Amino acid sequence: MITSQDTIAAPATAPGEGGIAIVRVSGPRSREALSRLTDRRGPFEDHRLTYCHALDENGEPLDECMAVLMLAPATYTREDVAEFHLHGGFFSSHRLMEALRQMGIRVAEAGEFTRRAFLNGRVDLSRAEAVMDLISAGSERAARCAVRQLDGGVSSFIRSCEEELTGIIAGVEAALDYPEEIDEEEACASLASKTRALALTLRSACDRRGAYLSENGLDTVICGPVNAGKSSLLNALCGEERAIVTDIPGTTRDIVTASFQSNGVRVNLRDTAGLRESGEVIERIGISKARAALTGADLCLVVVDSTRPVDPETEALLRDTAGRDRIIVLSKTDLPGCPETVRRFKNEAVALSCVTGHGMDRLRDEISRYTRYAGEGELTRMRHISLAEKAAGALESAADLADAGGALDLCAVDLHEAMSHLGSITGDRVDEKIMDEIFSRFCVGK
């Protein structure tokens, strides 16, 4: 077990007013920190919260406190850990951190507690990343993916693939070491079939769309001509008055955003300015932003006003979004409709009224088709997916060499490359630069 020689400290709770503020200490001087900065006389019991007073560097009382000493290795970092549970707010935790600094205990770097947990073998790299994913999860699906990863789902899958690959490599090396006993042609045939099967397993586990949706949500743009009911639709979908709704054309000048959950995935709604020719400078800027948002959207909700004939702007929008992921929404069905418009979109559009709520459930069902099953794959983090795909590519390269009758020693090079990529997922084979990049994204207290 790798144990750091220095001791670190950081607030483990978010700054600001709250019920409790926790300051965490990890390292060989954790016990000393409790002895010097509390008024408790006598030793702290392992893993038992104890009432006392926290003291500053001069021995003056700072706050009432619940303090705990947790002895290695049964701690988050597998080092001795101390925690001070103070009243929430800025003053007490800030002054306690200053007292710890006066003792020579340094402020932790971003993610350093979890980095120590990784270096000390408590978690592998994929589970360490899951900690930050869970903290930053913006949707139910993202949180579920993080919990599955934290529970070792990714680790167990990759370990299983590594074990299979180890067996393949052992077979190749045996054929290289004992050519008079193992026929090279048979060894190549066996190698090709096994490596292709393992490559397929890895590629099937990669859920790029799920990873994207879990992390970013479904970018959904509401677009259409002026006064078609776009802002009313955004308000109805998110369940609150986020956009201003009036009868005045061109009310929406800038992009208005809101979100709701579908199948545990965050759907990011963007209400855009109505598309039309305008001589008004601010409205023209809004229309330009609307067209830009439309270009990069994952899903378009094209709103068609059922009470009016289809205008040229709507016709152009329908052409521009043809072949893309879109849902045509026929709005204002609580009002007398234009027969030609209603007849044209009768079978193609979701007819609804934001006033009565008719059709809203059907629209939510249609949107849910784009979020269903996202994040259900074994690998739902972009870093893991990229490495798994690289490993699969190396395996396929080895299989191609074997099929072509290539030398087994060249196949072995590809196999070891695949193993290196898999090891980078769990952290078995990872360099300092990659670790710095991963843990720098963590909050300081974690």
* Residues 118, 200: Cα–Cα separation, whole Å: 30
Q: Indicate the length of the chain as a whole number.
A: 446
Q: Which residue type is seen at 105?
A: I
Task: Give the DSSP H or E segment for 63.
Answer: strand 61-70
Mean pLDDT confidence for 347-367: 93
Q: How far is CA 221 from CA 22, 80, 175, 330, in A?
A: 42, 51, 58, 16
Chain segment 259-296, per-residue pLDDT in tens: 888 888 889 998 876 544 444 444 444 455 556 666 77
Residues ≥6 apart with Cβ < 8 Å to 186: none
2.60.120.10, 3.10.20.30, 1.20.1260.120, 1.20.120.430: CATH of 128-207+381-427: 1.20.120.430
pLDDT value of residue 147: 82
Look at residues 45, 49, 25, 28 and name the one whose alpha carbon lies nearest to residue 37. Answer: 25
Q: Which residue has the higher pLDDT, 444 or 354?
A: 354
Residue 363 has pLDDT above 90, yes or no: yes
Q: Rounded CA gap, 366 and 349, in Å?
A: 11
Q: What is the pLDDT of residues 24-57, one digit of tens each?
A: 999 999 999 999 999 998 899 999 999 999 999 9
pLDDT at 23: 96
110 vs 375, more confident: 110
Strand 299-305 with 265-271, pairing: unpaired
Residue 224 has pLDDT above 80, yes or no: yes
pLDDT of residue 295: 73
The segment with the largest mean pLDDT, out of 14-23, 250-259, 313-322, 348-357, is: 348-357
Q: Which residues contact 9 (CB under 8 A, 6 or more apart)?
A: 23, 24, 25, 26, 33, 97, 100, 105, 106, 107, 108
| Three-state SS letters, the chain | CCCCCCCEEEECCCCCCCCEEEEEEECCCHHHHHHHHECCCCCCCECCCEEEEEECCCCCEEEEEEEEEECCCCCCCCCCEEEEEEECCHHHHHHHHHHHHHCCCEECCCCHHHHHHHHCCCCCHHHHHHHHHHHHCCCHHHHHHHHHHHCCHHHHHHHHHHHHHHHHHHHHHHHHHCCCCCCHHHHHHHHHHHHHHHHHHHHHHECHHHHHHHHHCEEEEEECCCCCCHHHHHHHHHCCCCCCCCCCCCCCCCCEEEEEEECCEEEEEEECCCCCCCCCHHHHHHHHHHHHHHHCCCEEEEEEECCCCCCHHHHHHHHHHCCCCEEEEEECCCCCCCHHHHHHCCCCCEECCCCCCCCHHHHHHHHHCCCCCCCCCCECCHHHHHHHHHHHHHHHHHHHHHHCCCCHHHHHHHHHHHHHHHHHHHCCCCCHHHHHHHHCCCCCCC
Map out the domains of the chain as residue ranges: 8-117, 128-207+381-427, 222-368
Q: Are 75 and 27 in contact (CB under 8 A)?
A: no
Q: Residue 404 — very low, low, confident or very high, per pLDDT cuts 50/70/90?
A: confident
Quote the CA–CA distance of 191 and 170 in Å, as a whole number. Answer: 11
Distance (Å) of CA 277 to CA 34, 225, 235, 287, 291: 70, 10, 26, 9, 13
Q: What is the residue type of 442? A: F
Q: Band the pLDDT of 179: cuts 50, 70, 90.
A: low
CA distance 73 to 304: 63
- In terms of Cα–Cα distance, which of 201, 203, 187 is closest to 411? 187
**pLDDT for residue 64 is more than 70:** yes
Which CATH number, 1.10.3720.10, 2.10.260.10, 3.30.1360.120, 3.40.190.100, labels domain 8-117?
A: 3.30.1360.120
Least confident of 27-31, 252-256, 303-307: 252-256
Section 298-323 average pLDDT: 90
pTM: 0.69
Residue 278 pLDDT = 43
Q: What's the pLDDT score for residue 140? A: 75
pLDDT greater than 80 at residue 144: no
Judge whether residue 409 has pLDDT over 60. yes
Share of the chain above pLDDT 70, in %: 86
Q: Which tokens hold the place of 268?
A: 């990011």
The pair of three-digit structure tokens given for residue 374, joined into one six-digit string: 């996202």
Rounded CA-CA distance 409/390 in Å is: 20
Within the chain, what is the greatest distance between any pair of CA atoms? 88
What mean pLDDT comes out for the span 73-95? 94
Fold for 222-368, please state it. Rossmann fold (3.40.50)
> For the residues 427-436, what does the mean pLDDT come to?
75
| Per-residue pLDDT at 214 exceeds 70 | yes
Average pLDDT, the chain: 84
Q: Which residue has the tokens 């008719």?
A: 358
Q: Are 354 and 233 in contact (CB under 8 A)?
A: yes
Rounded Cα distance between 119 and 30, Å, is 19
What is the arithmetic mean of pLDDT over 131-142? 75
Label residue 39 left, alpha or beta by phi (over 0 means left) and psi (-120 to 50 means alpha).
alpha
> Checking DSSP bridges between strand 106-107 and strand 218-223, what pairing results, if any?
unpaired
